[in-house]
Structure 1
Amino acid sequence: MSSAPPTLAQQLHDGVLQSMAIARIRLDRALAQDGPLPRELGTELKLLLDQEIAGLRRLISGSAAPAPPQPDLPSALAATAEHLESLTGISILVENRTAPTGRWAENDLIAYRIVREALHNTVKHSDAKHARVGVATREDRLVCVVSDDGRGFEPSTDRPHFGLADMHAQARDAGGYLAVQPCRTGTSVTLILPRNPVLEGSVPQ
């Protein structure tokens, strides 16, 4: 089963909107402090805007979204966690219990998109100080768990949003399962996908 390329709505949500939300968080935190805005914050936000303008131009031209440059799923998730840590100050631990392959299995890109969205939700909505990403395999299944120590999330009462619905749809279309539920402190997101054979070459598109 090949992973379908992301739709325009998915690319806008996962790219531009996520980056703008993080920029808003960074700006809100800076405005809450006394004194002028740090010059380095302005430089950082300018770089982010330049990147997203380039991304929008790519979408308008119909170019494909670039795949993660890392050689496999665990390293791509570690890079995403490190990036979000540097922007938000939230401590994100990635625990990988899969055997190193240096390749992407067929459903790994779907897992990457879903876990990345879960981490962005943690950043935007949870007020968490710590988050954890666990990656493991069980027989022919890939299991990813994202948890945080934030204020919690109740899917049955919180208003629905595009990102969560899309996470469920991607998991279902890949023959997998997604569960979002409160845990002892915060929220836990569990993703289970079929573990397809490792692909030759680079990231599946």
Structure 2
Amino acid sequence: MTEAQELAQRIHDGVLQSLAVARIRLDRALATGGPLAHDVGEDLRALLDREIAALRDLVRGAGPARAGVGATLTETAHRLESLTGISVSVDERATADPTTGRVLHEALHNAIRHSGATHVRVIVAGVGKHLVGQVRDNGRGFDPGAARRGLGITAMYARTKAAGGELEIDSTGAGTVVTVTLPRSAGR
């Protein structure tokens, strides 16, 4: 991956995801027809302040501090749940590696942004010689073959392929399941 591609991916995985969540939260507040609730405004201000600081760090080359993959998935799930009201659960039966974590992070954000789901479940499990991660939602689904592949889905496929794994997106009118399967290695 070139330096420009890496920067684009870091911006996509960080600030753009958070700004999309802020937009969802704002849209929901505005849809109520009344004045924007003070607590929603405060939540959005705090979210934007965090992302402005993250962008400044990125521009300076610092980048965000990295927690463990499992902790990051759980933290992201809790944050998205509190910001959007969509129920999000994480069931980590095996330790996710960075590739699995990034793919699941993207799939989780896609479910929150696009599916109209009321519940999203993230699962990480060891299955034989493989590490399997899934994001399942109960949203409206989509046709993966007909959908335009944006940077996020393209990066999910590229990361999975580069790690010697497979990515499957199964979607019906009753939701979407994104499954990433990677071979376990000594580091996973």
Aligned-residue offset at 1:46 = 1.1
Aligned-residue RMSD, C-alpha: 1.8
How many residues are paired up? 184
Q: Would you say 1:25 and 2:14 are equivalent positions?
A: no
| 8 Å contact kept, 1:25–1:124 | yes
Instruction: Within 5 Å, give how 1:162-181 maps onto structure 2.
Output: 162-181=151-170
Secondary structure of the residue that 2:11 maps to in structure 1?
Answer: helix
Q: Would you say 1:86 and 2:65 are equivalent positions?
A: no
- Which position in structure 2 is the counterpart of 1:132? 121
Counterparts of 2:92 and 2:49 in 1: how far apart (Å)?
Answer: 33
Aligned-residue offset at 1:97 = 2.5
TM-score, length of structure 2 as denominator length: 0.90
Instruction: Within 5 Å, give how 1:31-180 maps onto structure 2.
Output: 31-68=30-67, 70=68, 73-98=69-94, 108-180=97-169
1:38–1:188 Cα change, 3 Å:
same
Aligned-residue offset at 1:78 = 2.2
Secondary structure of the residue that 2:91 maps to in structure 1?
Answer: strand
Aligned-residue offset at 1:167 = 0.5
Counterparts of 1:51 and 1:163 in 2: how far apart (Å)?
Answer: 22
TM-score, length of structure 1 as denominator length: 0.83
| 8 Å contact kept, 2:169–2:176 | yes
1:158–1:82 Cα change, 3 Å:
same
% identical aligned pairs: 48
Secondary structure of the residue that 2:113 maps to in structure 1?
Answer: helix
Aligned-residue offset at 1:125 = 0.4
Aligned-residue offset at 1:83 = 1.3
- Could you tell me which amino acid in structure 1 is paired with residue 72 of structure 2? A
- Could you tell me which amino acid in structure 2 is paired with residue 169 of structure 1? A
Secondary structure of the residue that 1:7 maps to in structure 2?
Answer: helix
Runs of at least 5 residues in structure 2 that lack an aligned partner in the other structure: none
